Structure 1
């Protein structure tokens, strides 16, 4: 099995991941009922995000923290939601790739999830 090396590899990873996320019973509703999910709009953004994280790409222009705080305001994000997202991400990475970048994709997802959870909790604390 090969490692994550190119934008095309990230495209494959992100597409396969969202094929699992959308129908998922625990987190799929975020994409089907909570927000309007457009595959054509969201997937290229996620590909650019992960390309920037893993390969140093420069195409991503966004703020995932703000997006998740906004999402949490619409429907509270629970630690179980993050755990499920991480499980599906890790499962997808491990099914498709092996190597240092694949390991980094899993580790960075865990770090990102922890940061987002912490920032959401801090944001809620400021609103109290």
Structure 2
């Protein structure tokens, strides 16, 4: 299995991941009913985010925390939500990629989820 090496790999990963997320019984409704994401609009943005984190291309320009604070004001994002998100994320990475960037993206996802949960709790 190969490592995450470029934007195309990130796009592939995010397409597979969001297919799982949108159909998930625990968190799918957050994306479909609450955030009402349009995947054709959301995927390029989320790919920019991960490209910035993993490939250091500075493609992402938004405030990720502000977006999730707004979402949290509509539905409380719980520890179980984050656990399921991470489970699906790691499962998708591990099914498709192996290597230092694959390891890094999982570590960063865990770190981001942890920091986000702390900041969301502090905002309440």
TM-score by length of 2: 0.98
CA deviations on 1:51-85 (whole Å, 9 max, x unpaired) are 00000012211111111111110000000000000
How big is the shift at 1:50? 0.2
Aligned to 1:112: 112
Q: Where in structure 1 do 4 or more consecutive aligned residues deviate above 4 Å?
A: none
Aligned equivalents of 2:35, 2:79: Cα separation in 1? 19
- SS of the residue 2:24 aligns to: coil
Q: Aligned pair 1:84/2:84, yes or no?
A: yes
How big is the shift at 1:19? 0.5
How big is the shift at 1:14? 0.6
Aligned to 1:100: 100
Structure 2: stretches of 5+ with no match in the other structure: none
TM-score by length of 1: 0.95
